[in-house]
Structure 1
């Protein structure tokens, strides 16, 4: 596919700092017409722009920004957006104090180059009118995407549509902030402009922007704008200050339905196109559903036949500067033995695991927490107690504790005793003495079982033979769970940096269905026909996970379904933010874990599971001020600061 050359060239320019290539003016070393005089020049230029797009993908790090890992700069400590919400904890670094997720200077550098390109396109004589039109459409999409990344962080930002030139008066370059409403309106206008210009161009290419990608962005952005309008006021949140007074943050609630309608319209166009659908929407069994869901993210290029679920993807290439390190950071310790690599950094929380349904399918969609105790008390996080009667699970199959849960859970989370490829992954955190006189926890020890065999606290003697709870290194899960979504499990990658090649799905049909369902249930004037279509969309997503019942279209059901369906796709943190519920979800909150103890008091020994506050994981509080990021450099640029 042609976009591969785009991506590889883009990575080269990113590594070499060749952004000057895009400063299209008479002073540039490469004149615009010369740059676009050959197909290679066009590819190089567009590759740079695509490569700088703020996609929160495998190479995005909240503390380091975008394209972390391009070239040799690979070490971001394994931080991902999931660590900042209720999806996962990090086994080495727990709470982070102030929020990260900044994006300002690089955004406006990209906007500068996009504005220059839009001015230059009509003057070019070396490309056809059709090529001009396609580049024009792509540029409007890229600009919409960039302003979307700014708007969801800062609210209203300066909207700059033309290239700026310095003529000795710095004040002429100082552009004030637009209102938040104006900013979101501009994002949607840019999406509409891209849609109108694209026509049928690139429409079957999931690695390049096209009409459907622009509509998917509009669906996502309009939903965010609608949420800002509906929830950025009392009783949800309350802000004050100059930015509020000037409407630089917040949108009047009366505008919410308009933005929900924009989301509904964009989503419907995709849904009615006859080009997209859920991958394997009707599995015969939960096991089949698990396999299908896992394949969608591990091998998405093999999931493009018929109605496609991926709408827009970002590709990578092995043994080049354009690869990623997800498999190194997040594979189990037993799979990554090189001392210079750092595995096991994504530990799904018990909070996340408990959010999944079983297959009771009683029409309620109610999550089913993992059962651990005979008395059914699943609110005790005080650790192991010798007198408590725990449910027991076979020594060779501890993962039976999670049997019967929603198929997507086992497609995303690795449970104790399951295989990663051909390797059995040992996750164990405690050992109960055979005579019942005590137990070992958080320290490696050995005990003889009633069968005469020697057992260890962490499930094995050597630190390379187990994958959980050892506090001496950050390679081991502290939640009791490991991560598998996206990872190359059947064909593990080489133990080295920059070997990951599975593509990132940025927009997919499953998200569009859930966007549509949410917009309909939140809009105050939704028709009965819209509500029925939205309920069908919601349940289509669930039935792809082998559920048989239909659940009601409610806010709670839609939000729960987004949590479990879109997990680890860097959506959850932004969902909690736009709903303005982050500060309620995280007020001195400790994310939970589940520790497998091997109980030697029986022969054969058996496993029990104990709910805990994980070792070293501090409480997390989301500060009100984090809903809007602080704008950098206000002393120099004169912009009004956020509250």
Structure 2
């Protein structure tokens, strides 16, 4: 934490000195002279901290920072409370060449230009020693690879710029064409391979500074994405999108090797400090700096805080906004039960007014990762219960079964509200719990400090299992999957299959901004995101029987749309006007 706080203070100091960066690729950055910046470690650290802060690790923009839910909303894990909030437009809007990529956009050339500038100038320093210069260059190259990764998963091939542009450069360099998607992935892999070879065996990732294992984690993820695209899609537009099938196995091998190196390093392990499986999974995201964290974006309340607790805590507690991320029942069905039942064994046809359910069986016996990640009726929180029922059904003094929506009842000596706060049931009657800090009893805006885990060891095991499976190493894949399931308290699997590898990934990494991109790289997004009317639940509590009547409702006003063109986002006409050598993606 001290490292991050010092970095932020340095950044604040340097921001006073630096002029603002220009938007266009063709502009020369108006920076303080390299003769000053790269002769002083503090200024160099502040310069690089500025690049870190511009990276898209987690989007904390939007109204009250609700863009933290952007990618989960796009991937139909949860939505946002109201349709006017930006994340909900990721699936409701039409993507066109005129409108561009909208809220999912990322065009990281400002950061890439800053990185290229550092790489071209830091080596001329007369004050910094060679080992320090190499360390900073490696960090910068990692960040550049990460920026290109964020663009390639959105657009496919993009312009590959590895030097600072000058107004005197030829037009071919000032207005670069798009590289192919495969060329971008190859660039990412090559960059990471080269810097890994010269990075020491030190762990700084949990403190927010890229290290060897951070680079390996990106290599593991990016290679797996490339392999999937080669495996499940075709090349289009002269290679601007798509990867040749002949490269697939090489990319799977790259991912497998990188994952295996992390595993065999002994530097990381699954978090297992608490015997209770639900508590353990909850605390994983609050016990910062633990040995599962490979790389994190570090947050500190006030200095660099966020508002997750304020906007996500259920209504009825101290948060001033609250209940902002309603979880979709479609996603809940992925979570199986500890007794071996599938999440889909509860038929939707049985969710009718004539049936009633024990809430402990319906939700409480599901995967502990579900209970640690989702608020459902009677979840305990900060010494109280979270309510999601719309009414209470009971037998009145005349012996009639009636329903109440106001007032309170006595439930075995407990004061029971006839209905919950309306914000809790507006959309799905389920809410995001994962990463929330129960000890934050006054969750004000900007006062939360949970780090965002960009890479964690659990993902490494999942990457390893998936790559191993497609390389024919199914036994190794099974061992990795079961290591995760044993940590979670779930029955072990008898075999590794494509289906259970994908399900385990979605469950383990729920709400961590992964599912949307996974559905895309597996080329199965339309199954979950096209012509799908996602569902929420309605709970009515039966006081006489201590059960709930559970029925379905539509969670979203319209069906989702995900046509085949959406595997890649459109490049806006404005960008094409600025650079006429940019070709548009297919379908736009």
TM-score range, shorter chain: 0.7 to 0.9
The separation in 2 between residues aligned to 1:212 and 1:128, in whole angstroms, is: 23
- The answer to whether the 8 Å contact 2:17/2:32 transfers is no
- The answer to whether the 8 Å contact 1:318/1:499 transfers is yes
Q: Tell me how far 1:589 sits from its aligned partner.
A: 1.2
Structure 1 residue 516 corresponds to structure 2 residue 517: no
Q: 1:508 to 1:172 in 2, by over 3 A?
A: closer
What aligned pairs does 1:176-191 form with structure 2 within 5 A after superposition?
A: 176-191=177-192
Q: Tell me how far 1:401 sits from its aligned partner.
A: 3.4
Alignment partner of 1:333: what SS?
coil
- The answer to whether the 8 Å contact 1:355/1:564 transfers is yes
- The answer to whether the 8 Å contact 1:298/1:486 transfers is yes
What aligned pairs does 1:541-556 form with structure 2 within 5 A after superposition?
A: 541-556=484-499
The separation in 1 between residues aligned to 2:484 and 2:362, in whole angstroms, is: 25
- The answer to whether the 8 Å contact 1:590/1:613 transfers is no
Alignment partner of 1:89: what SS?
coil
What aligned pairs does 1:321-400 form with structure 2 within 5 A after superposition?
A: 322-336=304-318, 338=320, 342-361=321-340, 367-369=342-344, 371=346, 377-380=347-350, 384-385=352-353, 388-391=354-357, 393=358, 398-399=359-360
Equivalent of 1:87 in 77, 82, 86: 77
Paired position in structure 2 for 1:319? 302
- The answer to whether the 8 Å contact 1:430/1:458 transfers is yes
Equivalent of 1:497 in 432, 438, 445: 445
Structure 1 residue 415 corresponds to structure 2 residue 376: yes
The separation in 2 between residues aligned to 1:540 and 1:187, in whole angstroms, is: 29
The separation in 1 between residues aligned to 2:449 and 2:52, in whole angstroms, is: 17
Q: 1:246 to 1:615 in 2, by over 3 A?
A: closer
Q: Tell me how far 1:408 sits from its aligned partner.
A: 0.9
The separation in 2 between residues aligned to 1:17 and 1:379, in whole angstroms, is: 62
The separation in 1 between residues aligned to 2:406 and 2:42, in whole angstroms, is: 62
Q: How many residues were matched structurally?
A: 566
Equivalent of 1:294 in 267, 270, 282: 282
The separation in 1 between residues aligned to 2:188 and 2:285, in whole angstroms, is: 28
The separation in 1 between residues aligned to 2:531 and 2:324, in whole angstroms, is: 23
- The answer to whether the 8 Å contact 1:323/1:499 transfers is yes
The separation in 2 between residues aligned to 1:621 and 1:440, in whole angstroms, is: 38
Paired position in structure 1 for 2:537? 594
Deviation track 1:544-580 (CA, whole Å, cap 9, x = no partner) reads 0123433311100100000110001100111111111
Paired position in structure 2 for 1:47? 49
Q: Tell me how far 1:635 sits from its aligned partner.
A: 2.6
Alignment partner of 1:544: what SS?
helix
Alignment partner of 1:492: what SS?
coil
The separation in 1 between residues aligned to 2:29 and 2:51, in whole angstroms, is: 20
Q: Tell me how far 1:354 sits from its aligned partner.
A: 2.1
Q: Tell me how far 1:331 sits from its aligned partner.
A: 0.6
Q: Tell me how far 1:6 sits from its aligned partner.
A: 2.1
- The answer to whether the 8 Å contact 1:5/1:43 transfers is no
Q: Tell me how far 1:212 sits from its aligned partner.
A: 0.7
Alignment partner of 1:312: what SS?
strand
Paired position in structure 2 for 1:269? 261
Which one is further off, 260-269 or 544-553? Answer: 544-553
Unaligned runs of 5+ in 2: 96-101
Structure 1 residue 121 corresponds to structure 2 residue 122: yes
What aligned pairs does 1:538-617 form with structure 2 within 5 A after superposition?
A: 538-599=481-542, 602=544, 606-614=546-554, 617=557
Q: Tell me how far 1:368 sits from its aligned partner.
A: 2.9
What aligned pairs does 1:125-524 form with structure 2 within 5 A after superposition?
A: 125-167=126-168, 172-200=173-201, 206-233=207-234, 244-280=236-272, 288-301=276-289, 304=290, 308-320=291-303, 322-336=304-318, 338=320, 342-361=321-340, 367-369=342-344, 371=346, 377-380=347-350, 384-385=352-353, 388-391=354-357, 393=358, 398-399=359-360, 401-432=362-393, 434=395, 444-445=405-406, 458-459=419-420, 466=421, 470=422, 476=425, 478-489=427-438, 491-523=439-471
Alignment partner of 1:613: what SS?
strand
- The answer to whether the 8 Å contact 2:296/2:452 transfers is yes
- The answer to whether the 8 Å contact 1:594/1:609 transfers is no
Q: Tell me how far 1:499 sits from its aligned partner.
A: 0.4
The separation in 1 between residues aligned to 2:15 and 2:459, in whole angstroms, is: 30
- The answer to whether the 8 Å contact 1:347/1:482 transfers is yes
The separation in 1 between residues aligned to 2:29 and 2:529, in whole angstroms, is: 51
Deviation track 1:134-174 (CA, whole Å, cap 9, x = no partner) reads 01111110111010001100101111111110128655401
Q: 1:344 to 1:131 in 2, by over 3 A?
A: same
* Cα RMSD (Å): 3.2
Q: Tell me how far 1:202 sits from its aligned partner.
A: 5.1
Q: 1:370 to 1:425 in 2, by over 3 A?
A: farther
The separation in 1 between residues aligned to 2:585 and 2:22, in whole angstroms, is: 34
* Structure richer in helix, relative to its length: 2
Deviation track 1:74-111 (CA, whole Å, cap 9, x = no partner) reads 45477432122231133322652236453344x01111
Q: Tell me how far 1:407 sits from its aligned partner.
A: 1.2
- The answer to whether the 8 Å contact 1:399/1:417 transfers is no
The separation in 2 between residues aligned to 1:130 and 1:317, in whole angstroms, is: 30
